[in-house]
Amino acid sequence: MVSLLFDSDSNRRSLYGKAGAFRLQPWGFEYRSLSSAMMASTTLLETVYNQIITAVDAFNRRRSLPDATATQTAINNSDIELAKKLIERYNLYLPEQKFKESRFVTNTINAELPW
């Protein structure tokens, strides 16, 4: 969802599937991934990494996750205002914050994983 603030290509989102969508193929499945726009800078790559760590940590600790329907609506409709509201409500990391000061930086080697 944070990626909406940095990737304005709503056409790509409409062509390559909606949030959470996948297509079964003879070789497996295809899923919606972030665009290469998120590789434009180290800061954006760090943001993606931090969002993954944040999501895994929230799941493992059974913390409140952003509402799935609202998140899908924001992504599928490129609704930046809804995304901003959800980011604020759930206190998600944004790259304007200093990376080292982020409360989401974790030691991934010791991260508690569900499997």
Pull the structure tokens for residue 52. Answer: 């993954």
What Å distances lie between residue 69 and 1, 24, 26, 106, CA to CA?
Answer: 12, 23, 29, 28
Determine the Cα–Cα distance for residues 27 and 97; give it in Å rounded to an integer.
Answer: 41
β pairing state of 22-25 and 28-31: antiparallel
* pLDDT at residue number 58: 82
Determine the Cα–Cα distance for residues 103 and 94; give it in Å rounded to an integer.
Answer: 11
Domain count, the chain: 1
pLDDT tier at 102, thresholds 50, 70, 90: very low
115 inside domain? no
pLDDT tier at 105, thresholds 50, 70, 90: very low
Q: Which domain holds residue 61?
A: 2-108
Q: How confident is the model over 70-101, as pLDDT tens digits? A: 999 998 898 989 998 998 888 776 665 443 43
Q: How confident is the model over 32-60, as pLDDT tens digits? A: 778 888 888 888 888 888 888 888 888 88
